[in-house]
Homo-oligomer: A and B are copies of this chain.
Amino acid sequence: MNGAESLVRTLVDGGINVCFTNPGTSEMHFVAALDKVDGMRCVLALFEGVVTGAADGYWRMKGTPAATLLHLGPGLGNGLANLHNAKKANSGAVNIVGEHATHHIQYDAPLTADIEGIAWPVSHWVKTSTDAKAVAKDGAEAIHVASTAPGQIASLILPGDTAWNEGSGPEAVPVIAPRAKASDEAVRHAARLLEKGEGTMLLLTGEGVKERGLALAGAIAQKTGARILAQGSNACLQRGAGRVPVDRVPFPVPQAVEMLADVQRMILVEARPPVAFFGYPDRPSVLTQDGCELHRLTELSEDSIDALERLADAVGAKIEDAPVQQPFTPEVPAGALDPAKIAAVLGNVIPENAIVVDESVTTGRNFYPFTAGAPPHDWLQNMGGSIGYGMPVAVGAGVACPDRKVLALVGDGSGMYTVQALWTMARENLDITVVIWANRTYQILKGEFNNVGAGNPGMKAKDMLDIDRPDLGWVDMAKGMGVPSARIDTCEGLMAEMRRGLATPGPYLIEAVL
């Protein structure tokens, strides 16, 4: 058994049965091993940003890592932006990055690059295998790292000869420690802050914005008079009718500051202290008021459900008292599309148990209240801020959850970064409905231009913000990648096409022209 086969067996035995790939010469032995080892589903993408974004989406839905297969430094580089997003989402992934054979690296051939240097900024763990006998053990270590709470990026670099030389057989993955418990003092102090009632807020993310975490937090808030709020972005927020509703920290700084103005005590459940997405000349970076006490209940790696249960006990809150969202359906809108009307359409069509991957950017700022009463669904957001995350994450979610409907809501500017994801959706016949908000501009930047104090864009600046020359034809691009599609520009059309896309298996793209 060569090194590559020992690695693939280690991955499969270690519970990794999906590999998102874009291989090259140096990964051919890994690819060959797939023929010999059962149990690994390989999903090809035509660009590495799709590969790494899919691994992010897979983790978010499964909580276990997928592998990626990438071609040397530049292949890893192409996957860098979505690895950045995955790292910020605390998604675990095992990257297998091919490298020249060890004896060949010294010759500085065209593809030679500092792969470890490229990997480190987006990885928690980087290792280059030194020989074929070490590969299986290195692979097992990578799985261990990737699976360790809250999820980490492990990048294993695999020189060609470590794949083709005789290996040592598969290795077992070391036992993965369960999430640590929050300290008694952390729970006790949170309870003390909650006793002060109004002016106390639970800021939630991670397990704290999943169904049970929200139910517990909602019960605590109900009992104590505290407020609950979710981070601005969350890897997977569970919401909809029958669940405890939660709002998020808004993107615009003035709105965020206003929302947090009365918060004197903030209890952080995995969440980071709230800060602005960007720094601006005349706006604060820290969104809480001076003097607001920040108290961490759980780190990202800790067991928030346990901590919230203990906190609920401490304050005498009962989960059945948590106020849950009543089902509601917004009035059906008509006529030309605008963000509010789009939100109303969404509130009418999101199906039960859907996975909504939201990269709507400006178009989506109204979506939350209108969709709050839809059937229960998961809402996935961009955690690293690098646009182009949406369609790849939808690919990963679709692979992870073949029995669920995936709805990818994507701005046209964002969608173009990783447009190649459409082809993988078609190849794998993933049940994903993609809606492209075609406003034909980097709309967010028009606001940001003013927010940073640059005034109003002139002709040359505007030219860098508009993407309407030429208009992008999403229906044609989807067709070119094998995804059926339709273009609409009315609420009636959007409603009908979304229902069609969600009702039929396989991918479907809707170009919604604003």
A residues neighboring B (CB under 8 Å): 21, 23-26, 28-29, 31-32, 34-35, 42, 44, 46-47, 49, 72-75, 77-78, 80-81, 84-85, 88, 100-101, 103-104, 107-111, 113-114, 117-118, 120-122, 160-161, 164, 233, 272-273, 275-281, 285-286, 382-386, 388, 413, 416-417, 419-420, 423, 426-427, 444-445, 448-449, 451-455, 457-461, 463-465, 467, 469-482
The answer for the CA separation of A25 and B281 in the assembled complex, in Å, is 12
Q: Given that A73-B84, A118-B80, A278-B160 are contacting pairs, would A475 and B480 also be in contact in the complex, using a CB cutoff of 8 Å?
A: yes
In the assembled complex, how far is the CB of residue A470 from the closest CB belonging to chain B, in whole angstroms? 3
The answer for the CA separation of A413 and B45 in the assembled complex, in Å, is 11
In the assembled complex, how far is the CB of residue A212 from the closest CB belonging to chain B, in whole angstroms? 26
The answer for the CA separation of A213 and B75 in the assembled complex, in Å, is 34
> In the complex, are the beta carbons of A74 and B78 less than 8 A apart?
no
Q: Given that A78-B81, A110-B88, A476-B476 are contacting pairs, would A31 and B417 also be in contact in the complex, using a CB cutoff of 8 Å?
A: no
The answer for the CA separation of A413 and B461 in the assembled complex, in Å, is 34
> In the complex, are the beta carbons of B276 and A104 less than 8 A apart?
yes
Residues from chain B with Cβ under 8 Å of A463 in the complex = 42, 44
Pick the residue among B46, B121, B449, B473 that contacts A31 (CB under 8 A). Answer: B449
Further 20 A-B residue pairs, CB within 8 A, beyond A25-B445, A114-B121: A29-B453, A32-B449, A32-B455, A34-B464, A35-B460, A35-B461, A42-B464, A44-B467, A46-B467, A101-B278, A103-B285, A110-B383, A111-B386, A118-B118, A164-B452, A164-B453, A426-B470, A473-B480, A476-B479, A477-B481
Q: Which partner residue on chain B sits nearest A47 by CB separation?
A: B417
> In the complex, are the beta carbons of A464 and B121 less than 8 A apart?
no
Q: Given that A470-B481, A476-B479, A479-B473 are contacting pairs, would A454 and B29 also be in contact in the complex, using a CB cutoff of 8 Å?
A: yes
Residues from chain B with Cβ under 8 Å of A482 in the complex = 470-473
The answer for the CA separation of A328 and B412 in the assembled complex, in Å, is 48
Q: Which partner residue on chain B sits nearest A460 by CB separation?
A: B34
The answer for the CA separation of A93 and B120 in the assembled complex, in Å, is 24
Pick the residue among B84, B114, B233, B454 that contacts A77 (CB under 8 A). Answer: B84
Pick the residue among B29, B46, B84, B473 that contacts A74 (CB under 8 A). Answer: B84
> In the complex, are the beta carbons of A113 and B84 less than 8 A apart?
yes
The answer for the CA separation of A87 and B196 in the assembled complex, in Å, is 60
The answer for the CA separation of A388 and B79 in the assembled complex, in Å, is 14
Q: Which partner residue on chain B sits nearest A467 by CB separation?
A: B46
In the assembled complex, how far is the CB of residue A34 from the closest CB belonging to chain B, in whole angstroms? 4
The answer for the CA separation of A453 and B3 in the assembled complex, in Å, is 13
Q: Which partner residue on chain B sits nearest A42 by CB separation?
A: B464
Pick the residue among B28, B111, B465 that contacts A452 (CB under 8 A). Answer: B28
> In the complex, are the beta carbons of B32 and A279 less than 8 A apart?
no
Q: Which partner residue on chain B sits nearest A44 by CB separation?
A: B464
> In the complex, are the beta carbons of B161 and A281 less than 8 A apart?
yes
The answer for the CA separation of A460 and B12 in the assembled complex, in Å, is 15
Residues from chain B with Cβ under 8 Å of A108 in the complex = 272, 275
Residues from chain B with Cβ under 8 Å of A473 in the complex = 479-482
